[in-house]
A and B are shown apart, each in its own frame.
Chain A
């Protein structure tokens, strides 16, 4: 497989640390920045998976918040910069399209089913239905920590579009939509999934997310592929309980 991405990822920690130097040195000092970079590198980047990415982002966010809250109790100055950061939240955007061999209305209904999102995201998140077509998202980070947030449906145009956003009080700012468009000939339906997210880690996670653009993109592609398989075959290809001489099956 091509090695370019591996190389880029190897460079990531030092570059990430460098580009965020002004922020980090002022707030946490170089030691903390190293910890952040190292944690993210070891937990998420090296795995180069979607789950890994989210874990990396989430763990970065947790680390940030953990350190941040400790500092906040010592200094009121922090609050001002938190406000500043909130105003300049930048969303990382990912979009993929895949053709699925089923009619749009069938796919629209399948997507709306309460259990579907959880199946599509099973490799990195638990998604449970909440009142009024909302969803509760939960991602497990390392050391038994987790990030969770709620989303609500903000636009519903059967059988073409679902659009959702994280609720006001969610620590993770996300929004997204899925669109179903008839494909030519006997191909079925072109399904586009669009996701935007601004992880709670602020500038650090944001810089990281930018560097890892390829990974969330791959995760969205995989979620779409899982949706396609579910729609076309009633199951998602899996390596659960796949025998090998390793401890882990994948």
Chain B
């Protein structure tokens, strides 16, 4: 089959690779109908997230049609049109039982990496470093889905691929981020980053009862999208002296009740803090630039909630004093997609959520490297490039 492979830093190529096979009794093989870029891919494309190997097939946000199932698959059937959360879960361990799906104990074949880096390993992901299992990714014609009965979700009829695709990752990540905020009536939520995840977090915050949502970004087209498709108010951080001061003024001097970081380890910013991060990252003294997260911590009202969705490595210079002294609640996780999938599908069917606006650019799988280039440089207003094979 054809697949998009990572061959080194900033070196993506579509190559011919072997087809996946059923290897375990709970596996299914999908013909991928649509997949999409994710901002978190840029971290290893740029070389900041280690444990990639040359030749790895990338891509973790996808949907497709079931073409084959293993002997112990009960619910999923050949011909089913399904969407698949990016984290692979077993459905049997303590973490799955407690709805902490991305922490599943039984789907990472290479636990040694995270055991060393984080103390304990998380679940595996498709096409997203060997620390997250080393599974082949989904920017390919076919993909193997382990534990298919827990990981494949049937798509209701009448929905287009673009409406469903982002329920694989961007939508549940954003929804979870808003859910973490424990939104009360009258709440104001500020969201850093108006990319796929951030935009979904903004829409979700309204769905979960927020009164106001403020989008913090610097790209006019993304801010316009936030206003138009999610109803958020736009704040262009490159046009103001201090985001923290502006947010304080916008919220009657209180600060947002909750702040969502949908940016992560390659944040852009202004001022000396950003220059410091940038220099350290360039020298490989640390893996993360944490400007967005620092702002979110400072901007959040006392006793508020900080919801971290951005992907981080091993960041230092973290203003824990502000979190502690202001009594902030820190909530964070990789997405527990299996927890939210049914709810999200319901929102889409009812027309309350339509993530298809994220798909600003469409490419064939063969042109995927061009799609990533456009996506990475945010050219031509690209929010997400989607690939069809």
B-contacting residues of A (Cβ < 8 Å)? 1-2, 5, 99, 101, 186-188, 218, 221-222, 225, 228-229, 232-246, 250
A241 and B19 alpha carbons, distance in the complex (Å)? 9
Q: Secondary structure of the B side of the interface?
A: loop
Interface string of B4-46 (1 = CB under 8 A from A): 0101000000010111110111100000000000000000000
Indicate if B1 sits at the interface (CB-CB under 8 A).
Answer: yes
Q: Does B159 sit at the interface, judged by CB under 8 A?
A: no
| Cβ-defined contact, B94 with A101, below 8 A | yes
Residues A233 and B92 in contact, CB atoms below 8 Å apart: yes
Q: Which residues of A contact B106 (CB under 8 A)?
A: 228-229, 232-233, 237
Q: Given A232-B90, A238-B23, are A243 and B136 neighbors across the interface (CB < 8 Å)?
A: yes
Question: How far in angstroms is the closest Cβ of chain A from B168?
Answer: 19
A241 / chain B contacts, CB cutoff of 8 Å: 18, 20-21, 23
- The proximity string for B residues 309-322 relative to A, scoring 1 for CB distances below 8 Å and 0 otherwise, is 00000000000000
Contacts of A187 in B (CB 8 A): 94
A235 surroundings in chain B (CB, below 8 A): 24-26
Given contacts A101-B92, A233-B90, contact A245 B116 (CB under 8 A): no
Min CB distance, A66 to chain B, in Å?
32
Is A244 a contact partner of B112 (Cβ separation < 8 A)? no
B204 shortest CB reach to chain A, Å: 31
Q: List 13 A-B contacts (CB under 8 A).
A: A2-B116, A186-B94, A221-B111, A228-B106, A229-B90, A229-B106, A234-B26, A238-B23, A241-B18, A241-B21, A243-B18, A244-B5, A244-B55
Do B140 and A222 touch (CB < 8 A)? no
Shortest Cβ distance from B88 into A: residue: A237
Whether A240 contacts B90 by the Cβ 8 Å rule is no
Q: Identify the closest chain A residue to B13 (Cβ).
A: A245
Tell me which residues across on chain A come within 8 A of B107, comparing CB atoms: 237
Provide the B347-379 mask, 1 if CB < 8 A to any CB of A, else 0. Answer: 000000000000000000000000000000000
Partner of A243, one of B53, B115, B117, B140: B140
Contact (Cβ within 8 A) A243 B17: yes
Number of residues from B at the complex interface, CB < 8 A: 49
B166-194 Cβ-contact flags toward A at 8 Å (1 or 0):
00000000000000000000000000000
Residue of A nearest to B70 (CB): A235
Judge if B3 is at the interface, Cβ distance under 8 Å.
Answer: yes
Min C-beta distance of A27 to chain B, whole Å = 36
Q: Could you tell me the distance between the alpha carbons of A187 and B97 in the complex, rounded to whole angstroms?
A: 11
B residues less than 8 Å from A236 (CB atoms): 24
Q: Do the beta carbons of B112 and A245 come within 8 Å of each other?
A: no
Compute how far the CA of A245 lies from the CA of B11 in the bound complex, rounded to whole angstroms: 13
Residues of B96-120 contacting chain A, CB below 8 A: 97, 105-109, 111-113, 115-117
- Residues of A near B15 (CB, < 8 A) are 245
Please measure, in the bound complex, the distance between the C-alpha atom of A244 and the C-alpha atom of B26, giving whole angstroms. 21
Contact B135 A242 (CB under 8 A): yes
The answer to whether A221 touches B134 (Cβ under 8 A) is no
Instruction: Evaluate contact between A221 and B92: CB separation under 8 angstroms.
Output: no
Inter-chain CA distance A237–B122, complex, in Å, is 13
Q: How far is the CB of B181 from chain A (nearest CB, A)?
A: 29
Q: Residue on A with the closest CB to B127?
A: A244
Give the residue among A1, A225, A233 with the most B Cβ atoms within 10 A.
Answer: A233
Q: Kindly list chain B residues whose C-beta atoms are within 8 Å of the C-beta of A242.
A: 20, 134-136, 144
Give CA–CA (A206, B5) in the complex, Å. Answer: 42
Contact B23 A240 (CB under 8 A): yes
Closest to A219 in B: B112
7 tightest Cβ-Cβ pairs between the two chains A and B: A246-B55, A245-B55, A229-B106, A237-B109, A245-B5, A235-B24, A244-B55
Contact (Cβ within 8 A) B17 A222: no
Q: Given A234-B25, A241-B21, check contact A228 B105 (CB 8 Å).
A: yes
Partner of B20, one of A232, A243, A245: A243
